[in-house]
Amino acid sequence: MASDLRRGDDGQGHWWLIEVDNKLAGTIAFHHISERDRSAFVGYWLDEAFVGCGIMSTSLKTAIDWGFGDRDLLRIEIQCALHNRQSCAVPERLGIKRESIRRQSQVRESSIYDMASYVAFADDWPPEEPDPPLPLRTIEVDEEIALRPTGDSDLAPMWNAIEEGRNYLGEFLPWIAGYDTEDNYRTGFNKRRFEKDPFARSCEYTIEYEGELAGGVGFGLPNRDNGVEVGYWLKEDVQGRGIMTRSVTAVLDMIFDHMKLHRVTIRAATPNKPSRGVPERLGFTHEGTSREAAFVQSRYMDLEIYSMLEHEWRERRS
């Protein structure tokens, strides 16, 4: 804080408190203002109690307006830790484009971080309609359940879950058969991890139940009509505890409230009653049966099609 104030005295920085209802909510500051290059960096933080209200997006826009107006800057850069999706979402919501990813460019308490660099320009401010927001990186469902990105530490637990539940999971999930050996699974696991674009709008979450891997839930890239299909799987030994219903509920909240999508589809094999139970409990509309649309273990099976629309979900949640 003292260093920020000193930079303000010499014109190399500017620092604001963010107040909401006379309460301190966070700060936002300009750093390294260069009169010669007419450029600056912006940093910010927000107390957890105020997250999700659009406060930081409004504050950042106001600060950038000041930088381009009062300080006559040309370029304003925001750097966010790549893993911090909430921080990255702030410039993304304003339509500020990601310019680069600076690998291993920040060290905090012995942790090394990749930084995403977003840049706003005076001759393109405010920018055109922003790109749609990306999925949240992690979701705290409740005290028992957390949804997080799949990491290196999940390789062994995932393989054990597949091996132990091969008969149970393989009855309805065709991808189980493709991982017949641990080496095959490791190859596929690493391929998905290394080739995934961190800025894609698809998402694959690991379900953590009481600190242990319990299953997975995710969705592919949204289609041009703002719809996605949600899929999931759960270990047999944790069935019947409402884990998947709670997890899918949290994912739907994120899809409709944060990503602003319009339609979610879930497909489940006709004989797979536990999987069908999730959309049925959540009030999805049953649209019909797709005949022999799945090929699993050398046999065809029918799929039941369920859907939920944004306004239906909002009405149900209210």
Which residues constitute the domain of residue 269? 139-317
Its pTM stands at: 0.63
Convert the pLDDT of each residue in 225-256 to its tens digit. 999 999 999 999 999 999 999 999 999 999 99
Say yes or no to pLDDT of 136 above 90. Answer: no
Q: What angle do CA 275, 278, 283 make, to 5 degrees?
A: 140
CATH number, domain containing residue 268: 3.40.630.30
Do 303 and 158 fall into the same domain? yes
Say yes or no to pLDDT of 137 above 80. Answer: yes
3-state helix, strand, coil in the chain (%, to 5): 35, 35, 30
Domain assignment present for 131 = no
The band of 1, judged by pLDDT with boundaries at 50, 70 and 90, is very low
Do 157 and 278 fall into the same domain? yes
Do 228 and 294 fall into the same domain? yes
Domain assignment present for 86 = yes
Do 310 and 203 fall into the same domain? yes
The band of 110, judged by pLDDT with boundaries at 50, 70 and 90, is confident
Domain assignment present for 132 = no
The band of 169, judged by pLDDT with boundaries at 50, 70 and 90, is very high
Domain assignment present for 248 = yes
pLDDT at residue number 108 = 86
Domain assignment present for 94 = yes
Do 240 and 293 fall into the same domain? yes
> What mean pLDDT do residues 172-197 have?
87
When divided into structural domains, the chain yields a total of: 2
Do 147 and 281 fall into the same domain? yes
Do 99 and 22 fall into the same domain? yes
Do 286 and 171 fall into the same domain? yes
Does residue 270 contact residue 236 with C-beta atoms inside 8 Å?
no
pLDDT at residue number 130 = 64
Closest CA to 10 of 28, 29, 32, 26: 32
Do 153 and 44 fall into the same domain? no
Do 66 and 153 fall into the same domain? no
Convert the pLDDT of each residue in 27-51 to its tens digit. 999 999 999 999 999 999 999 889 8
Does residue 25 contact residue 19 with C-beta atoms inside 8 Å?
yes
